[in-house]
Amino acid sequence: MKGTVTVDEPRCKGCALCIPVCPKGLLRLADARFNARGVHPVELIDPSSECTGCQLCATMCPEAAIAVYRAVRVRA
Amino acid sequence: MTVVAPEHAMTPVYEFPDSLTSVPTHYCPGCTHGIAHRLIAEVIDELAAKERTIGVASVGCSVFACRYFDVDFGQAPHGRAPAMATGIKRVAPEALVFTYQGDGDLASIGAAEILHAAVRGENITVFFINNAIYGMTGGQMAPTTLVGQKTASSPAGRSLVGQGAPLRVSELLAQVDGAAFVVRRSLHDVVQIRRAKKAIRRAFEVQEQGLGFSMVELLSSCPTNWGLKPDAALDFIRDEMVPAFPLGDFKVPEAETAGAAGAGTADSSAAGADAAGSAVAGRARRG
Ligand SMILES: Cc1ncc(C[n+]2csc(CCOP(=O)(O)OP(=O)(O)O)c2C)c(N)n1
Ligand code: SF4
Ligand code: SF4
Ligand code: SF4
Ligand SMILES: [Mg+2]
């Protein structure tokens, strides 16, 4: 696993601007649930750990709702 | 590749900026006012200037910006943010002072204030959010509305005859001797957003160096009043606004026009600045 993201779901406005910028297509609107604003928040679907932590999604988000993490090499 | 447990091996590379509060914004979904806020806050964080930054909000959709930035803030009467920022900077020269103004606020009712703040070479930074419309009041025509663009007050589309052509504020202010740094960027995609952030940083640095008036114009979306979905609104910026408001550096300090290494110059070639932009030689002030 190279990277991952978390979405601050209550902040997310479901604008979907982050979705097309993900080069791996890992983001989608969670159409099975709503947040308190009544919108479908974005969620990361990454079963094969493809996220690289590239930050493109976070760069696009008007709400600063996406935090991005990258794997660091753990010393043995 | 070894799969490592995230809780032990993941390090944050992007987190919510310190210089924003956790208050949810009232902006419409996909409105790029939010991106502009985020970038300004990220740069204040990078400059470690949060404790000495003072913002001045204007009248328009960003009237509540004071709730969203975790820095000291004033809120000026419509169009008067540059006058308020002038007073703040003059009594607190150590503060990093910026205004945040829409196109209705800055280019219409506040046209005199912005022009004369530049003429005086006030050492303040202006973020000018050009969305080609009065967003807050329901989508009336602004001085920056495009020819043919339909708005609540130009239902047949803005017409050259009787309403005139859109006002290009950056080009206008670049003619003013007191202006040290005047550039236009856009928020319509990731590459442009990164360039916009660099320009915001450079504008603040120009103020820190005491070089005079700095302004970053940001082409921004108003999905609600344009009647477009958020992604289509970004396409509208790219396809309709950028041709009418070319991106580029209209004035940068002299050292940067001379040397290829200058942040502004590097940015301008990347953004495809036109010859007119680079021909306007920057003049360093109070340097
Ligand atoms: C003295 C005065 N005149 C008019 C108004 C009405 N008014 C409020 S916001 C606004 C224009 C806002 O447009 P802009 O500055 O482009 O900001 P946006 O909402 O598009 O971000 C106007 C005309 C006012 N509040 N005060
Ligand atoms: S960090 Fe990059 S790869 Fe990961 S979800 Fe965001 S855009 Fe996709
Ligand atoms: S860009 Fe931000 S607010 Fe918009 S859907 Fe993605 S996470 Fe939500
Ligand atoms: S009305 Fe337009 S400018 Fe105002 S918050 Fe909504 S989309 Fe943004
Ligand atoms: Mg506007």
B30 to A16: CB separation less than 8 angstroms, yes or no: yes
Whether the CB-CB separation of B221 and A52 falls below 8 Å is answered with no
Q: What average pLDDT does the segment B31-52 reach? A: 98
**Domain-embedded: residue A17:** yes
Whether the CB-CB separation of B33 and A62 falls below 8 Å is answered with yes
Residue B254 binned pLDDT confidence (cut-offs 50, 70, 90): confident
B29 to A8: CB separation less than 8 angstroms, yes or no: no
Between CA A39 and CA A37 the distance in angstroms is 6
**Domain-embedded: residue A64:** yes
Is the pLDDT at A51 greater than 60? The verdict is yes
**Domain-embedded: residue A76:** no
Query: Does the beta carbon of B79 lie inside 6 Å of ligand 1?
Result: no
**Domain-embedded: residue B217:** yes
Amino acid at B187: L
A66/chain B closest Cα distance in angstroms:
7
Between CA A45 and CA B132 the distance in angstroms is 37
Is the pLDDT at B223 greater than 90? The verdict is yes
Residue B256 binned pLDDT confidence (cut-offs 50, 70, 90): confident
What is the CATH number for A10?
3.30.70.20
Nearest to A49 among B3, B11, B34 (CB): B3
Whether the CB-CB separation of B200 and B39 falls below 8 Å is answered with yes
Each residue's pLDDT tens digit, B173-222: 999 999 999 999 999 999 999 999 999 999 999 999 999 999 999 999 99
Q: ipTM beyond 0.90?
A: yes
**Domain-embedded: residue B118:** yes
Structural domain count of chain B: 1
Between CA B246 and CA B277 the distance in angstroms is 9
What pLDDT shows up at residue B9? 76
Is the pLDDT at A72 greater than 90? The verdict is no
What pLDDT shows up at residue B258? 62
Residue B286 binned pLDDT confidence (cut-offs 50, 70, 90): very low
**Domain-embedded: residue B179:** yes
Structural domain count of chain A: 1
Question: Which 3 state secondary structure label does DSSP give A58?
Answer: helix
What pLDDT shows up at residue B255? 77
Residue B13 in tokens: 């590379």
**Domain-embedded: residue A75:** no
Query: Does the beta carbon of B61 lie inside 6 Å of ligand 4?
Result: yes
Each residue's pLDDT tens digit, A3-49: 999 999 999 999 999 999 999 999 999 999 999 999 999 999 999 99
Is the pLDDT at B131 greater than 70? The verdict is yes
**Domain-embedded: residue B10:** no
Q: Domain containing B101: what range?
A: 33-283
Each residue's pLDDT tens digit, B6-23: 455 799 999 999 999 999
Q: Domain containing A21: what range?
A: 3-70
Between CA B128 and CA B91 the distance in angstroms is 24
Residue A8 in tokens: 């601050």
Between CA B96 and CA B80 the distance in angstroms is 18
Is the pLDDT at B261 greater than 90? The verdict is no
Taking each helix axis from N to C end, the angle separating B263-270 and B190-208, rounded to the nearest 10 degrees, works out to 160
